[in-house]
Chain A
Amino acid sequence: MSATSFGTVAPGGFGTGVSDTVALIGRHLRHLRRTPEKIIAVTLTPVAMVGILGYLFASVVSVQGTAQYHDYVMGGVFAQVALSCVGVAALGVSADLRTGLIDRFRSLPMARSTVLVSHTAADLVTSAVAVVGVSLAGLAVGWRIHKGFLPAALGFVLILAFAYAMLWLGALLGMVMRNAEAINGVSALVLVIFSFLSSSFMPLTGLPTWLRTVAEWNPVSVVSAACRQLWGNAPAAAHGSLAVQHPVLLAPILLAAMIGVLMPVSMRVYRTAVVR
């Protein structure tokens, strides 16, 4: 029998787990190279927002404690980039489910976690590109980082960690929903609700108390406030809830908790994900 030439497949281990992940990341990066429009789509909206908010709104909106509106708003736009990752991952994962590719991967003697880990890792590259695009656009409208390298870098790490959490949320969404139109709808809704019910674009002073509490603890608010503080664009609020006063402290904890929950839940759902 011809099977003897290859025999059975080598057993998996940590080493092979890493090489499987690398191979699958390679697959996604090829996708990115061949469909650059995906990166452009993810980058274009926030870049346009920087332009609109930085130029048009700058003349009418001013936030107390900041010199320029774009100083205030950039943290929020970066958080938007992270939020839009939900749709990116969801569409990718659901497409692989629909085409049966995930079935094929699951029928291989490969660690369960590999497929989603490589999916989210590769999509993180897309978000990193978008972050670079938004940074350049921000610099163009006059936004500057006023702190040293370390806090500046920490700000970007927070943005990418937020993006990573949203990619896992997206993976989960993609497995549960599957239908591309439905996914587009839900991820647009996530984007609108989470970004407008936050302090991304303006401080939350006018809201009723309960709504204000929700908005203050919204990860978008926490992460964008942390970035503003880390980059020296706007100080944290002097009074208010813990989330408002100590965003830099709270953001890493919040993000770690989100990733810590979303990752295992997604992997669990993956285990039983079925193609119809």
Chain B
Amino acid sequence: MDIAIQASGLGKRYGDHQALAGVDLEVAAGTVLGLLGPNGAGKTTTVRMLATLLEPDSGRATVAGFDIVRQQREVRRRIGLAGQYAAVDGLLTGRENLELLGTLLHLGRKGARSRASELLARFELEGAAEKPVQTYSGGMRRRLDLASALIAAPSVLFLDEPTTGLDPASRQVLWQMVREQVGQGVTVLLTTQYLEEADFLADRILVIDKGQVLAEGTPDELKRKVGEEWLEVGLADADGLEAALAALAKVAVASPTVDRASRRISVQLADGMGAITAAAAALEGTGVEVVDFALRRPSLDDVFFHLTGRETDQGQDASDASDASATTHDKRAKENQ
């Protein structure tokens, strides 16, 4: 497997503040790495280093096989960057923005023009192509920003919080566009504060905080780190709680926990369908009225809380996003409510 991005021991100090304290990461070509962390974690610093905008104080990294310090020009010829703020020129039109970048990337006058038209169409900006960008909505700017990063058809794409501040619908559109790029073989390194986003887009996730890597793995692996699946049972009224608890205790591997206020019981079961049917039968036998019966897995919110001991700032926004993606994230969307 080709490695598109490799970094070891990346460190950066700002004055006496250690913004990044030895970050290692590796991204296989054609995959997406989600860099997940709260504000100030060091995400932007990492991206800027990998995109050759900032030199590391320590450590080294290669992007597309080239050293980010000694072979900057080679790296720059192969990357696209969409920074934390949509870097578009408000006084120019959408088309002019793209054509300017095409010219600067030496596609030639005709090449720049046709590439701009192509991207405007793909990002559904044709209607606004001749309008100054300062009249665009936040979502349109972001789309134009991503289009700008794709002018030279880069093989490695850096996206720094690409959907921060976007409404759920625009976020969906952007997610689809990122997926499209990945489908075409582009390697993506994406930073986000949204657990939902990392879960949806990333093949692997690196959780960072205070300049350090806290955990690395696939979304599933990270969730498993926090704990196994559990069964959650909701009852219609509190009277049945004791009977249900007693019944479930017989099929559980650990003693069930109960939240009396919401009349919910959580219980860890043995693996396999057998345990689930046994639990269902045991409840049936007690005759209590069950309103919810579902297997739960820890969400990335749980992972994050587990790793950093902090809630995410964006808990509310993340759940908005999950509502929008209800079809794919049905289960978690419900959990967040």
Q: Which residues of A contact B (CB under 8 A)?
A: 1-12, 16, 19-20, 23-24, 26-27, 30-31, 34-35, 99-101, 103-110, 274-275
Contacts and interface: CB of A to CB of B under 8 A. Distances in A.
A177 to B, nearest CB: 18
A17 to B, nearest CB: 11
15 contacts: A2-B185, A6-B111, A6-B153, A8-B78, A9-B105, A34-B91, A99-B85, A99-B88, A99-B89, A104-B81, A104-B149, A107-B51, A108-B101, A109-B105, A110-B104
Contacts of B154: 3
Contact of B186 (A1, A23, A31): A1
Given A6-B153, A103-B83, A274-B53, A31 B106 contact: no
A107 B104 contact: no
Contacts of A110: 104
Given A6-B107, A9-B105, A107-B51, 6 more contacts: A20-B103, A24-B104, A27-B89, A99-B86, A100-B85, A101-B89
Interface in B132-185: 132, 148-149, 152-155, 184-185
Contact of A9 (B54, B77, B88): B77
B106 A274 contact: no
Contacts of B101: 104, 108
Given A27-B100, A109-B77, A101 B87 contact: yes
Contacts of A7: 153
B89 A23 contact: no
Contacts of A30: 91-92, 96
A34 B184 contact: no
B153 A2 contact: yes
Given A106-B53, A109-B73, A274-B53, A2 B48 contact: no
B104 A20 contact: yes
Contacts of A105: 104
A206 B26 CA distance: 71
B117 interface: no
Contacts of B78: 8
Nearest to A6: B153
A3 B53 contact: no
Contact of A3 (B85, B90, B186): B186
A109 B184 CA distance: 23
Contacts of B132: 34
Nearest to A106: B53
Contacts of B51: 107
Contacts of B96: 27, 30
Given A10-B106, A104-B148, A275-B83, A35 B91 contact: yes
B143 to A, nearest CB: 15
Given A1-B155, A107-B52, A110-B104, A100 B87 contact: yes
B106 A16 contact: yes
A26 B104 CA distance: 12
B144 to A, nearest CB: 12
B100 A274 contact: no
A249 B32 CA distance: 63
B298 to A, nearest CB: 35
Nearest to B52: A107
B115 interface: yes
Nearest to B44: A275
B76 interface: yes
Contacts of B10: none
